[in-house]
């Protein structure tokens, strides 16, 4: 997504992320499933357990309409994002 902004010399604010709206717990479970880790070690919690000064939404995500229409951005699922990241890590390690 960031490369598209540069390539198209786009100006303004663009939200670049995956296409899913997930809770931190859902992200942790999907990550554990991908890497075949023990999901029973993951405990669901609510936002009161996080020590950030700002309140956070229960589910996190961005509206990507502008990036899709202006940049031609094609967001991927959280699972596909993990797969891409894992491939990049393999190339570095």
* Distances from the Cα of 73 to the Cα of 4, 24, 51, 68, angstroms: 7, 24, 33, 4
Tokens for 54, please give them.
């700002």
Closest CA to 38 of 28, 48, 47: 28
> Do 73 and 91 belong together in one domain?
yes
pLDDT tens-digit series, residues 2-56: 899 999 999 999 999 998 988 889 999 999 999 999 999 999 987 777 777 877 7
Pair 32, 38: CB distance under 8 Å: yes
> Do 16 and 26 belong together in one domain?
no
Tell me the whole-structure pTM to 2 decimals.
0.75
Domain of 55 in residue numbering reads as 22-60
Number of domains in the chain: 2
22: which strand partners?
A: 60
């Amino acid at each position: 997504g960031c490369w598209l902004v540069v390539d198209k010399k786009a100006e303004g604010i663009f939200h670049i992320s995956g296409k899913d709206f997930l809770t931190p717990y859902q992200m942790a479970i999907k990550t554990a499933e991908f890497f075949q880790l023990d999901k029973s070690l993951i405990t669901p919690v609510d936002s009161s357990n996080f020590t950030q000064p700002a309140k956070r939404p229960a589910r996190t995500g961005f509206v990507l309409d502008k990036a899709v229409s202006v940049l031609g951005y094609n967001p991927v699922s959280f699972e596909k994002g993990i797969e891409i990241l894992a491939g990049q890590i393999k190339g570095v390690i």
